[in-house]
Amino acid sequence: MITSDFVRTMARYNAWQNKSIYGAASQLDDADRKKDRGAFFGSIHETLSHLLWGDQIWMARFAGTPAPSASSIQESRSMIDAWSELTSQREAFDEKLLDWSDVVNEEFLNGELSWFSGALNKHVTRQTGMLVTHMFNHQTHHRGQVNTMILQAGCRLDDTDLFAMPEG
């Protein structure tokens, strides 16, 4: 389904886009970042907290990294309250994703993963490559929401096009 090269590219894209989003959101004050803007997770801060939670839960399944501190999707939005802590955890986790992407191989991607899905409230088994694709798609989905909220708050963001990603 996907290749290890795709995983490395998407991990780089994730880190690049997170740097852009966090840079733009850092121009806002805490009240503006936490203002309910009608998104699924409410605010810029809550959506970014959920996004980090999602990456952490998938990487716990894929690579055995520590599970996130929040135990559910509902709790994910308030997992980290301080902007500085959310920013530092995001940066550190993006490095973990990049390191992991360097060791992912096709055997892993073509395998299967079984886990209990809290979202579906049942045990699930799926092809790992599809689940890795889902993780990257989930990132892009929620970053799109955050991009809109940041633009509505009056800040500019860098380009989001994959083909515009700087080399190296």
Distances (CA, A) of 96 to 21, 32, 91: 19, 29, 9
Contact 135, 55 (CB under 8 A): yes
Pick from 60, 56, 48: nearest CA to 20? 48
Helix (H, G, I), strand (E, B) or coil at 75: helix
pLDDT in tens, 79-98: 999 999 999 999 999 999 99
Place of tokens 């599809």: 130
Residue type, 77: R
Question: What is the model's pTM?
Answer: 0.96
pLDDT in tens, 105-159: 999 999 999 999 999 999 999 999 999 999 999 999 999 999 999 999 999 999 9
Contact 86, 59 (CB under 8 A): no
**Cα-flanking dihedrals φ and ψ of residue 46, to 5°?**
-65, -35
Whether the predicted pLDDT of 168 surpasses 80: no
pLDDT in tens, 24-83: 999 999 999 999 999 999 999 999 999 999 999 999 999 999 999 999 999 999 999 999
Whether the predicted pLDDT of 4 surpasses 90: yes
Average pLDDT over residues 12-27: 97
How far is Cα 76 from Cα 12, in angstroms, rounded to an integer? Answer: 24
Domain residue spans of the chain = 4-160
pLDDT of residue 1: 81
Report which secondary-structure segment, H or E, holds 19. Answer: helix 4-25
Range 4-160 classified under CATH 1.20.120.450: yes
**Upper half-sphere CA count for residue 167 (Cβ side, 13 Å):** 0
